[in-house]
Amino acid sequence: MRADYSLDVHPEWLTFADVQVLLRKYIGKGFSRTTWNRLVATGQIPAYQDPWGNHIRYRWPEVRKAVDEAMARVCA
């Protein structure tokens, strides 16, 4: 259940909705689907194609690193 996810305890492979839950816990807000799709399409957020379900999946450590790097650029 997504409500039980924490920044340390979550599945390895995440969906868009899973990542949004973790982002809200990490930075207090999520991203709109349009913004998220743009970030994924431009390679700013790492994503993987699930070969069995043909869905896009994400890994939290990689997403968190990308968000941290983006915030560092904005704050610098």
Digit-coded pLDDT (tens) for 23-74: 999 999 999 999 999 999 999 999 999 988 889 999 999 999 999 998 888 7
What's the gap between Cα 22 and its chain centre?
Answer: 8
The domain segmentation of the chain, as residue ranges, is 10-75
Instruction: Calculate helix-pair angle for 16-27, 60-75, nearest 10 degrees.
Output: 50
Q: How far apart are CA 15 and CA 44, in angstroms?
A: 17
| Radius of gyration in angstroms for the set of CA atoms belonging to the chain, rounded to a whole number | 12
Give residue-wise pLDDT tens across range 1-36: 888 899 998 999 999 999 999 999 999 999 999 999
* Spatial contact of 44 and 69, defined as CB atoms under 8 Å apart: no
